[in-house]
Amino acid sequence: MTTPNHLDVTLFGREYRLACPPEQQDALRQAVALVDGKMQEVASKGRQVSAERAAIMAAISLAHESLAARNQGGDSAGPAVDNSAIERKVDDMVQRATDAIDTHQNALF
């Protein structure tokens, strides 16, 4: 049950209660919907995916999209930077996270 200073949300089929002042609850609902959608997108791309893996991949993907938008003029708060260097770093992080998760999951089975 959502209370004045808490918001109950569902991410990837799991329920969470988040501390949130009433004036920020709509924005938080939008953020949750964005993250949940990205997690569902990650999960739909292949084999069975744990919530942890979906969350990591969604976070990296959203960060990458945010940086790309900022560098293409979507955010005037900072100077443009070399996208290719950022993309290589993000791709490397994604691969390392995938390898680590695969290793951990393979050790369990």
- Give pLDDT, residue 75: 47
Share of residues in the chain with pLDDT > 90 (%): 16
Q: Would you say residue 81 has pLDDT above 50?
A: yes
The answer to whether the pTM exceeds 0.85 is no
What's the pLDDT score for residue 56? 87
CB 90 within 8 A of CB 64: yes
So where are the chain's domains? 6-108
pLDDT over 70 (residue 64):
yes
pLDDT in tens, 19-39: 988 999 999 999 999 999 999
**Burial, 54: exposed, middle or buried (Cβ in 10 Å; 0-12, 13-18, 19+)?**
buried
Helix 51-69 vs helix 83-108: angle between axes, to the nearest 10 degrees? 180
pLDDT averaged over the chain? 79
